[in-house]
Structure 1
Amino acid sequence: MIKQMGIIGCYSETEGFGKIKTDFGEEVLFYRTGILNGAELKTGLNVSFELHQTLSVAINIQVIDQSGITQK
């Protein structure tokens, strides 16, 4: 799968899902189960992710800091 970049557009911890705005202007749905390393997500964070081809949802979501390095 190809890594894509985007920004968290919205996320509800209570409901367990949110949307990522991709670099191409599309919105991709994601679920809490797609977040790697238990990262805390909030609106405006830069993330990398893969698109699940069958379900068309973001998976393997990782927070990226401002210098482009993946946060652990």
Structure 2
Amino acid sequence: MAAVLVTVFGPTLSGWQTELLAQPAVWTVPLAFTVMVAGSLLTRGRVPADVGATMLAAAHPGSSVKETLRNACSAS
């Protein structure tokens, strides 16, 4: 968003700054990936207790967590 605002409303730039602002995905995608990995590694000890139920519910959209757990338990 900042790249778009600087491109539209900011001063006229030349050189490498122009290229970085013209194609922000070139640097924002790797930055976002790095932040995601770092955040995951820094918080790996804080896994929520209900993560298993949440993942099961995500795999079966439209079902409630309780219904998905009940079906998974009865199938095994």
Which of the pair has the greater relative contact order for Cα pairs under 8 Å at 6+ separation? 1
Common topology (TM > 0.5): no
**Which structure shows the bigger proportion of residues in strand conformation?**
1
TM-score by length of 1: 0.21
